[in-house]
Structure 1
Amino acid sequence: MMYKIMVIEDSVELRNEMIVLLRRNGYDGYAPEQFDTIISDIRVTNPHLILLDINLPGQDGFQLCTEIRTFSQVPIMFVTSRNTDMDELMCMTLGGDDYISKPYNTSILVARISALLKRTYGNSSSQDQLTHGAVTLHLATSRLEANNHFVELTKNELKIMHYLFMHKKRIVSRLDLVEYLWDNEMFVDDNSLSVNINRIRNKLQALGLEEYIMTKRGQGYRI
């Protein structure tokens, strides 16, 4: 399951940084750019978690949180430069579930997001098996399964497939894959990425699957 996380932040630079961070960590991060339609956007997209700034054009974060709580119990984490005790108390009083101040440590932010999702939805975010089409990825045993047959994956191959599964039906750029592997302390350059992709494709062929990983020329890969 990929959790949808809405980022409500008026700084374009910070908003984009947060979306990249979320996607690298396996979340479906997205952000509204029009602040006068945020409530309707929430109703339509139904996010699993909202990251909410306080200082926003139009309604501020306090007002938005109050309005969201009239129709939804979606977890809300305030991410803001407002860092007084009174600000934090207001966030919690109005229905916020967590609070982190800017500038934040990215690892701590991701950990707090994971903890809040687990509190809200249980442990489904850490499921051992991911399935797409005819293929199941077994994370604990580092294996691919199709048609009751298995192939073993190396650590790099497992990470690559995990990332593709987390972004299934979407095009994943080669740069995103390389950066994801580097962030996980797996030192893969562009050439070795090609080698790993070819090895995975050979293993998928051994399972009877042709073109499970599709190349979109000039864009990246998609499953």
Structure 2
Amino acid sequence: MVRDPEQASLFPSSARVVVGDPSDPEVLHDALDGVVGVVLTQGTYRDADAERVNYRPVKAVLDALQAPARIALMTTLGVTKPTTGHDWKRRAERLVRASGLPYTIVRPGWFDYNEPDQHHLVLLQGDRRWAGSPDDGVISRAQIAQVLVAALTSDAADHKTFELVAEKGNAPADLDPLFAALAPDTALDGPYDRDNLALADEPAAVISDLAALRGRF
């Protein structure tokens, strides 16, 4: 599913592409018909659009699903560093964790700043890299896609949240050992995340969204 009609041409002819607003229930009903896995990669750098782009589509997908599906959500490395955009991404993460669905949340580093020999994937937890620059870690879009798609069918990746960067070295032959080494999620936030977005201080609408999703699946 894409928002921009021009992006539809980027997909092979064998792919069914739905063009529309990812928070529109009617569009989602068509896009989600019969799916068993959903990968969410939407995002914006504009604070004014943060709730609409970083949060609302995730809520809309979870609301629109008529049967359980595996979720792979991409947010960002540094998501626990308070900013308007990060906070809405973090709220989207919490919705996924509260949904009762199987899921994986991937927080990639800076896109496509890789050197040609940076193929070794490193999965981190706790979101401790807050420089706000490629010094935090880099990753290619192709590597992100590989991890998101692999997570959809990996039992070892279920209920896991992690930061994803690439370093110098060879690509892993198998991602499952990397997933298996991670601590599972046991609360609304990822393992070892900073406790700096108190639920008690959240907007009433966000708390209501969480309550409505708990136990839905």
Q: TM-score range by the shorter chain?
A: 0.3 to 0.5
Greater relative contact order (Cα < 8 A, sep 6+): 2
Higher helix residue share: 1
